[in-house]
Structure 1
Amino acid sequence: MIETDIPGFGLLTVSTLALDFNGTLAVDGRLIPGVGERIEKLAASLRIHVITGDTYGSAQRELSALACQIETLPRAGQVEAKRAFLTSLPHDAVVAIGNGRNDLYMLRAARLSIAVLGSEGMAGELFSAADIVVPHIHTALDLLLFPERLLATLRA
């Protein structure tokens, strides 16, 4: 569990991390270097779910050594499927991280949402749906590894 009290945002107590795969954790179906190590560190305090349409069919191979659960979705209806998966989790305890248009409702359903503007880009709708927008997945994961960093961005 990660817990930090953010003035104006409230007490943030999270136990689950929901992640998109392609464009967020991976580029062209390959895990971005440094992501695996961060996920392993976060797995000591969070349940981690990677929710993906698995465009390249590589998520299982790329994530098999990591402490995370992989939820593979059909190609059609991913927006609703991601939202449905997120709503099955305790809302107030979830951090969601994504970059794609199919992550929109997943981010809206989470207590804390982080959009990643990586090398594959980021859907414009996520600017208004996310609590925080970051330039790289390392930055997003590091916010959770060092939660004091959230204060500067979220406090009011």
Structure 2
Amino acid sequence: MHTNIKYIVLDYNGTIAKDGVLKEELRSLLPLLAQKYTLHVITADTFGSVKNELKDFDLHVKVLQSENHTLEKEAYISGLDASECAAIGNGNNDMKMLQKAAIGICVMGDEGCSTKSLFASDIVCKSISEALELFIYPKRLRATLRV
């Protein structure tokens, strides 16, 4: 069981936001998680809204700059120390980030999820709320990852 998680790295669009707008249920979940974990949001910022949407939260925002977002997300996880990271995403460009992190969670939300990210993850959740609640109620996480 991964008890050394310090960082939760979140994809933005399709994972914690829909059409560039933060999902309402996360307004209460993110502050709870920030009490125990360092939160990071990593995004291409397709809608140009991430910094404004997340300005009231205690988290780090990384807007992707490279031509290869998949590799840039993987490198970001490595830079934090992958063994201390949980990563949550849904798109093709999240695949390597989910593989690299100690715990990779794929969310099958409003946009669905890519099969590449699905197969690269350790856990699949049907909503971002359920994925994040695994870290609020860690016995759920232990039960899912138990060998």
TM-score range, shorter chain: over 0.9
Contact 2:21 2:49 in 1 (8 A): yes
Residue of structure 1 in register with 2:109 after alignment: 118
Residue of structure 2 in register with 1:128 after alignment: 119
Q: Distance in 2 between matches of 1:111 and 1:75?
A: 24
Shift of 1:151: 2.5
Q: Per-residue CA shift, 1:97-148, capped at 9, x if unaligned?
A: 0011111111111001110000011011122111100000000010111010
* Structure with more strand by fraction: 1
* Structure with more helix by fraction: 2
CA RMSD after TM alignment? 1.1
Q: CA 1:115–1:65 in 2, change beyond 3 Å: closer, same or farther?
A: same
Q: Per-residue CA shift, 1:47-78, capped at 9, x if unaligned?
A: 11100000100100110001101000137310
Residue of structure 2 in register with 1:26 after alignment: 17
How does the TM-score come out when normalised to structure 1?
A: 0.90
- Deviating 4+ runs (over 2 angstroms): none
- Gaps of at least 5 residues in structure 2 are none
Residue of structure 1 in register with 2:144 after alignment: 153
Q: Distance in 2 between matches of 1:75 and 1:56?
A: 17
- Gaps of at least 5 residues in structure 1 are 1-9
State the aligned residue count.
147
How does the TM-score come out when normalised to structure 2?
A: 0.96
Q: Percent of counterpart pairs with the same letter?
A: 37
